[in-house]
Chains A and B, each alone.
Chain A
Amino acid sequence: MSDQSPDKESQPDGCDEGMTRRSFLRKSAVLTTGLAALAAGLSPLLGIENFPSMQEFMQKYYKELTPEEMAKVLERIEREVEKQYGIRPHVRDLKPMDGVEYVYCLNLSRCIGCRKCVHACVAENNQSRNPEIQYIRVLQMQNGSFDMEKAVHDYNPEKVPEKGHFYMPVQCQQCKNPPCVKVCPVHATWKEPDGIVVIDYSWCIGCRYCEAACPYWARRFNFAKPSIPKERLNPEMDYLSNRPRKQGVMEKCHFCLQRTRAGSYPACLEVCPTGSRKFGNILDPNSEVSYILKNKRVFIQLKEELGTSPRFYYYFDV
């Protein structure tokens, strides 16, 4: 920077009068170069395939939508999915049921680590196949230790279970005191009355603060545009659960609410070949989960010391 007096031509205060032919040419040359450089800089934007439509861009927050507006939104989502995948889906907005609070119990004595739950979940919930997103991570643990740092994530033997190990599937623990909900700057994730922590994919800004906050590494981010083969799309969808996500938003396990709020079991439970997975209404004293939590001598809430109070319990056959 200098305060030497600049040449007369570009004198700031005299520029209006002193516009000569030469300075005009020079200025236009600079301006043209600048605009060309800017255009070159912006050029990757041309590669964007589907810009959000105006309705999508302006869409209100889930909890502020009236039933009529919601109906329109669901209709729009059905249209968008049909356009992209060639299949008209059935998108609902199932509400939590009165007198129901879900609880998941997982029997660590039985799980053999076959990862069938992982793949059933991917198929049911329309997770991206490329890049790959999975909600359930099965840890191969050393017998006698609960130290997750010693766990193996990418075990791949001919046959499971392997001797000397037990297996612990981890997915969203649907905490009663969820750190992810607390940190979200725009309330895009919250706890429903039936205990399920949900995400409004249309409201999430993609800051990934919830991903940093989760002590169970349960949240996944769409780093790229998700891709699902057309023939694999599950057309039974819900707004808060398995409708296809967009690039740049979070997702995670939601206890298959498109199924469970309609009275079925989660996909991971149905596929489990060992019966390790139990799911039900904890407010119902006769439910299977009530029986387990009343009668099993040991059950574990993962990282209980953090005070997150998961609705997901691990237990043993004792």
Chain B
Amino acid sequence: MMTAIKNYCVFLRRCAQIAFVGDWRYYAWMGTLTVFCLLGLNAYCRQFAQGLIVTGMCDQVSWGLYIANFTFFVGVAAAAVMMVIPVYIYDNEELHDLVIFGELLAVAAIFMCLSFVTVDLGRPDRFWHLIPGIGVLNFPASMLSWDVLVLNGYLLLNAHICGYLLYCRYQGKKPEKWFYIPFVFLAIVWAVSIHTVTAFLYVGLGGRPFWNQAIIGPRFLASAFTAGPALIILVLQVIRRITNYRITDKALLTLRSIVQVAMIINVFLLLCEIFTEFYAGGLHIASSKYLYLGLHGYHGLVPWIWTAVAFNLIAMVLLLLPLSQSLKWLNTACVLCFVGIWIEKGMGLVIPGFIPTPLGQIVEYFPSINEVLVCLGIWAFGLLTYSIFLRMAVPILQGELSKANEPEALRLMRN
């Protein structure tokens, strides 16, 4: 037992060490990300001291860029299942060794989500009120309490799966099926649940007609399964370029067909929503009007949402054409998907829910510089985390970092 723990500590230690080692490009990349993290931290400290007054939010628009990004990244985290399902349910060979990159992305995305929620709190010092047992969690009534549980659960599930598989590979052992397959299937269901619960955060509010629609949940899933795999397609090519890890074009094209189908469903659901809103008309469409057309001379979001719609449509057409079997066009489509959905599901979903207010007042929202810096910091933090994960995982998967080549010094330490 003691040897097992010691073995594991050596593994962790070697992983930690390798994260600090690389060529000049690696240092430049990690250094830049660290600088952005620190800028974000600085901006957050200012917010912590002075209050959320340093953001663009107010009583009329009480959630902004933080919650918008949170919502988007829950989708990215959930999208890891779109690699897991083909591999574990349809036995897809091409993607098999790549699943772990998707799961690591999910872990990094959840870290970002938790950061975005934390920076949005007015009293982060009281976060312990949320911890079951020592705090008072309003479960099951509050959708936010569900979100706390499912997000942390998803984090643990993915951390377990990735950690276990990598440690087995490190030891050169075959993973015990019973110790991870059940969790893989649980994680598939769980991924759907994190995004559904996040949608229900909004859907459950009867006083906000823009959100109080059953279609928001399905749209969340469709857009997540578009943007997530699109990001993974791009990430896999980056990994392929800077390491010699073998990733086939066929694997990328498998993901392409997922993005393709998800994008068609996403655009279809968007059409359903727009039709329902605008054809019947009535008073409750004020928010949609504000978003798409502008309301009483206020149209802060109009250029944004039409950019998103255009990006999504162009991406859909590209994905449908055989043209996008070439990586150049596939990458273009993926970037368009990612940006389009980030706008549509972030700001495009959160902000119009507050405009006009339930009392009919129109106050527009523009994020402050401090708020943008905090967001950039969290993005950098997410990328930094993911880069570290990859720095550890790739050599392990390639056998360069394994128990067999443990240096003498560490082996002595254990004895």
Q: Which residues of A contact B (CB under 8 A)?
A: 1-4, 6, 10-17, 34, 37-38, 40-45, 47-48, 52, 57, 61, 64, 131, 137, 139, 147-151, 153, 170, 179, 182-188, 203-209, 211-217, 219-225, 246-249, 303, 306-308
Contact = CB atoms under 8 A, between A and B. Distances in A.
Contacts, number: 226
A148 B207 CA distance: 14
Shortest beta-carbon contacts, A-B, top 5: A206-B122, A215-B207, A248-B122, A148-B360, A12-B17
B213 interface: no
9 contacts: A3-B400, A47-B50, A137-B359, A187-B136, A205-B123, A205-B124, A212-B62, A217-B357, A225-B50
Given A1-B387, A4-B23, A41-B41, A203 B129 contact: yes
Contacts of B409: 13-14, 16-17
Contacts of A37: 34-35, 38
A207 B141 contact: no
Which one of B20, B46, B123, B390 has the highest number of Cβ atoms from chain A below 10 Å of its Cβ? B123
A12 to B, nearest CB: 4
A131 B23 contact: no
B152 interface: no
B48 interface: yes
B4 interface: no
A121 to B, nearest CB: 15
Given A38-B38, A179-B205, A206-B123, A185 B130 contact: yes
B267 interface: no
Interface string B116-143: 0100111111110110000111100111
B123 A204 contact: yes
Nearest to A46: B49
B205 A183 contact: yes
Interface stretch (B53-61, B96-104, B182-190): B53-61
Nearest to B129: A186
Interface stretch (B82-90, B219-227, B323-331, B391-399): B391-399
B148 to A, nearest CB: 7
Interface in B209-239: 239
Contacts of A206: 52, 121-123, 126
A179 B206 contact: yes
A61 B130 CA distance: 12
Interface residues of B, number: 83
B290 to A, nearest CB: 11
B367 interface: no
A135 to B, nearest CB: 11
Nearest to A60: B136
Given A170-B359, A182-B141, A45 B41 contact: no
Interface string B278-296: 0000010010000000000
A1 B144 contact: no
Given A1-B25, A43-B42, A217-B59, 13 more contacts: A47-B50, A185-B130, A185-B145, A205-B121, A205-B124, A206-B52, A206-B122, A208-B120, A213-B205, A214-B207, A216-B359, A222-B51, A247-B122
Given A13-B409, A41-B42, A205-B130, A215 B358 contact: yes
B175 interface: no
A289 B136 CA distance: 36
**Chain B facing A: main interface SS:** helix
B255 to A, nearest CB: 21
Contacts of A4: 23
A149 B17 contact: no
B205 A1 contact: no
Contacts of A307: 206
B122 A205 contact: yes
B212 to A, nearest CB: 9
B58 A223 contact: yes
A11 B39 CA distance: 30
A221 B59 contact: yes
A44 B48 contact: yes
Contacts of B42: 40-44
Nearest to A139: B359
A230 to B, nearest CB: 21
Contacts of B127: 205
A12 B400 CA distance: 13
A44 B49 CA distance: 7
B38 to A, nearest CB: 4
Contacts of B406: 13
- Residue picked from B18, B204, B205, B244, most chain A C-beta under 10 Å: B205
Interface in B346-376: 353-354, 356-361
B357 A223 contact: no
B14 interface: yes
Nearest to B18: A12
A131 B59 CA distance: 11
Contact of B142 (A3, A34, A184): A184
A4 B395 CA distance: 11
A147 B135 CA distance: 42
Contacts of A41: 38-39, 41-42, 45
B138 to A, nearest CB: 5
B163 interface: no
A206 B127 CA distance: 10
A57 B51 contact: no
A1 B359 contact: no
B52 A221 contact: yes
A47 B47 CA distance: 11
B230 to A, nearest CB: 21
B113 to A, nearest CB: 14
A45 B48 contact: yes
B358 A217 contact: yes
B123 A185 contact: no
A42 B38 CA distance: 9
A248 to B, nearest CB: 3
B297 interface: no
B410 interface: yes
Interface in B1-31: 14, 17-18, 20-23, 25-26, 29
B404 interface: no
Contact of A306 (B52, B145, B201, B206): B206
Nearest to A207: B121
B63 interface: yes
A43 B122 contact: no
